[in-house]
Amino acid sequence: MNSDTKKKKKRADTLFAYLWSAPSLLLIFLIVIFPILYTGYISVTNMNVYHWNNYEFIGLQNYKDALLVFDNGFLSALFRTILWTAVNMVLQLILAYVLASLLNIKGLRLRNVYRTLLIFPWAMPGYVSILLWKTGMFNSQFGLLNQWLTKAGLEPVKWLGSNFMAFFSCTVVNLWLALPFMITIIDGALQSIDRSFYESAVLEGATWFERTRYITLPMIRPIIAPSVIITVFTTFKQFDVIYLLTQQVGSKTGADIHTILTYAYEKAFITNNYGYSSAISMMIFAMLIVFSWLSKANTKEASI
């Protein structure tokens, strides 16, 4: 075979590869890329209640206005969002690791029962879980927590009333919702480690701490890294937990723990100004892209 036919074959291969992946690429285009482009397009128009059908191109005016949203309130919301993400990620990783390790104890009975129970919060719609927590656990009149406190002779607590308590309560609910995913991933990662590493480590006299530090963690890290990145993003752009627990119109609790998304929602999305809201969405989107580049650079560094 000469180099020319080789080249041709390669080109044909590439072409076919694209052809075969065309359906999925088309789908991705339709449900991921197209909405982003469309949002971008709306963000440069004045589409709102007063210009619903007759909206027109107004350039970057919306972006100029949107910068006003990035005020002090937004900055503290951004800071809070970062704190929220950090606290949640650290707790999530530690708890998931501990629980997954417990699941992998040799000779554990009913392992599958525990697994099913632990995955359960994930099978329930988030909205339902959050509202159940809100009324069933945190409610100051009927909630289980306060009923226990009163039974124990203590003062009832407003779980969602102050900033600190609300942040704490939201974290608990978020952990409840997010742990199943992390446990599953770490559980899978733990099982993929060859037992012989541990056997020789034990023979060499390594302690439990040394085995964890030098065998388990380095070996599960590459496996769980992508899930951690995904979770960082879902935590960063978490809306439901904080909004439903503390900010819902008609049941605000007095706590101000806005994250950037709930903040942008109150500042923009309720105005029915689609152009303006799209501009804000595009800016948040850009921020997420920057964060994703940063975290990518970090994981690359870490894996070297």
Partner 1 sequence: MRRTGFLSLTVAAAVMLMCGCGAANSKLSEEEAHRIVIWHDKEDAVTGVLEEKLKELEPEVTIVLEKKSDLTESLKMVGNNPSAAPDMYFFAHDKIGVYAEMGILSPITDIIPAEELSGYMQNTLEAATYKGEIYQLPIYYETLLFLYNRRYMSDDAVPETTEELYDYMQEKTGGGHYGFVEQHSTPYYAAGWINGFGGRILNDDGTPGLNSDAVIAALAYHKKFADLMPGETEYATVNTLFNEGMAHATIGGPWLIPTVRESGIDVGAAPMPVIDETGTPIAPYMGVQGIQVLQYAASNKTESVEKVLRALMDPEVQISLAQASGCAPASEECYTMPEIADDEIVMTMKETAEHAVPMPNLPEMDVMWTVVGNLLTDVNMSDEDVAESAEKAQEEALSLIKTMQ
Mask for 98-137, x = binds partner 1 (CB under 8 A): -------------------------------------x--
- Contact region for partner 1 (CB under 8 A) — 96-104, 114-122, 169-177, 270-278? 270-278
Which lies closer to partner 1 via its Cβ, residue 80 or residue 267? 267
Q: Rounded distance, CA 304 to CA 295, Å?
A: 14
Among 99, 189, 268, 283, binds partner 1 (CB under 8 A): 268
240 part of the interface to partner 1, by CB under 8 A = no
* 126 residue type, one letter: G
Which lies closer to partner 1 via its Cβ, residue 181 or residue 243? 243
- Contact region for partner 1 (CB under 8 A) — 102-110, 114-122, 252-260, 288-296? 252-260
Among 176, 237, 266, 287, binds partner 1 (CB under 8 A): 266
Among 267, 281, 282, 283, binds partner 1 (CB under 8 A): 267
Which lies closer to partner 1 via its Cβ, residue 60 or residue 294? 60
Count of residues touching partner 1 (by CB under 8 A): 35
142 part of the interface to partner 1, by CB under 8 A = yes
Q: SS in 3 state form for the chain?
A: CCHHHHHHHHHHHHHHHHHHHHHHHHHHHHHHHHHHHHHHHHHCECCECCECCCCCECCCHHHHHHHHHCCHHHHHHHHHHHHHHHHHHHHHHHHHHHHHHHHCCCCCCCHHHHHHHHHHHHHCCHHHHHHHHHHHHHCCCCCHHHHHHHHCCCCCCCCCCCHHHHHHHHHHHHHHHHHHHHHHHHHHHHHCCCHHHHHHHHHCCCCHHHHHHHHHHHHHHHHHHHHHHHHHHHHHCCCHHHHHHHHCCCCCCCCCCCCHHHHHHHHCHHHCCHHHHHHHHHHHHHHHHHHHHHHHHHHHHHHC
Among 58, 65, 122, 221, binds partner 1 (CB under 8 A): 65
Nearest distance in Å: CB 45, partner 1? 14
Mask for 17-56, x = binds partner 1 (CB under 8 A): --xx-xx--xx--x-----------------xxx-xx---
Q: Which residues bind partner 1 (CB under 8 A)?
A: 19-20, 22-23, 26-27, 30, 48-50, 52-53, 65, 135, 139-142, 158, 161, 248-254, 266-268, 270-273, 276
